[in-house]
A and B are shown apart, each in its own frame.
Chain A
Amino acid sequence: MSLRISTSSKYAIFISLALAAVNVKAEISQTQWMKLNQASINEHILPGYQKLASTSEALEQATADLCQNLTDTHLKQTQSRFNDMLNAWQGIQHVQFGPIELLMRSYTIQFWPDKKNLTSKQLNTVLNNAEPATLTPDYFQTASIAVKGLPAMERILFAEQPLQALKQQTFRCDFLHAISSHLEMQTQNTLNEWKLYKKEFEYTSSEEGAYESAQEATIDLMKAQVEPLEVIRDLKLLRPLGKTDKAKPRRLENWRSRNSLLNIQTNIKSLHHQFSGAKDYSLFALLSDHGAIDLAEGIEQQFVALEALLAQVPAPLSQHINEPNVREQLLLITQGISLLHKSLDKSMSTLELQLGFNSRDGD
Chain B
Amino acid sequence: MNLRKSLMTVAVSTLITSSVYAATPAKSDIIDNYADIAHATYEDSLITAKQLNTVLGQFLAQPTESNLKKAREAWIAARVPYQQSEAFRFGNALVDDWEGKVNAWPLDEGLIDYVAPGYGSESDENPFYSANIIANKTLKIGGVSVDASTIDKKLLAETLHEIDEVEANVATGYHAIEFLLWGQDLNGTNPGAGNRPATDFDLTNCSNDNCDRRRDYLQAATNLLIDDLTDMTNSWAVNGEARKDLLAKGTDGGLATILTGMGSLAYGELAGERTKLGLMLHDPEEEHDCFADNTHNSHFYDALGIKNVYLGSYTRVDGSTVSGSSLSQLVQNTAPIVDQNLRNKLNETEAAAQVMVDEADKGNTFDVLIGANNTQGNQVVQTFVNALVAEAEAIEHTISVLKLENIELEGSDSLDNPASIAAE
Contacts and interface: CB of A to CB of B under 8 A. Distances in A.
Interface of A: 104, 107, 111, 114-118, 120-122, 124, 142-146, 205, 212-213, 215-216, 219, 226-227, 230, 234, 242-244, 246, 248, 250-251, 341-342, 345, 349, 354-363
In this complex, the member of B1, B124, B392, B422 whose beta carbon has the largest number of chain A beta carbons within 10 angstroms is: B1
Contacts of B405: 349, 354
B59 interface: no
Contact of A144 (B126, B129, B281, B392): B281
A116 B108 contact: yes
A117 B417 contact: no
Nearest to B273: A362
B193 interface: no
Interface of B is mostly: loop
A120 B280 CA distance: 16
Contacts of B1: 212-213, 215-216, 219
Contacts of B126: 117
Contacts of A357: 263-264, 267-268, 392, 395-396, 419-421
A295 to B, nearest CB: 16
* Range for the number of chain B residues in contact with chain A: 35 or more
Identify which of A121, A143, A230, A361 gathers the most chain B CB atoms within 10 Å of its CB: A361
B165 A342 contact: no
A331 B273 CA distance: 27
B176 to A, nearest CB: 15
Interface string B89-128: 0100000000110001110100000000000100111100
Contacts of B393: 356
Contacts of A361: 90, 264-265, 267-269, 272-273, 421-423
B26 interface: no
Contacts of B372: 142-144
28 contacts: A114-B125, A115-B125, A116-B108, A116-B286, A117-B120, A117-B126, A122-B281, A124-B120, A144-B281, A144-B282, A146-B281, A212-B2, A213-B2, A216-B2, A234-B424, A251-B125, A341-B416, A345-B417, A349-B406, A354-B405, A356-B392, A356-B393, A357-B263, A357-B268, A359-B268, A361-B272, A361-B422, A362-B272
Contacts of B400: 354
Nearest to B282: A144
Interface string B176-197: 0000000000000000000000
Given A359-B267, A361-B90, A362-B268, A117 B123 contact: yes
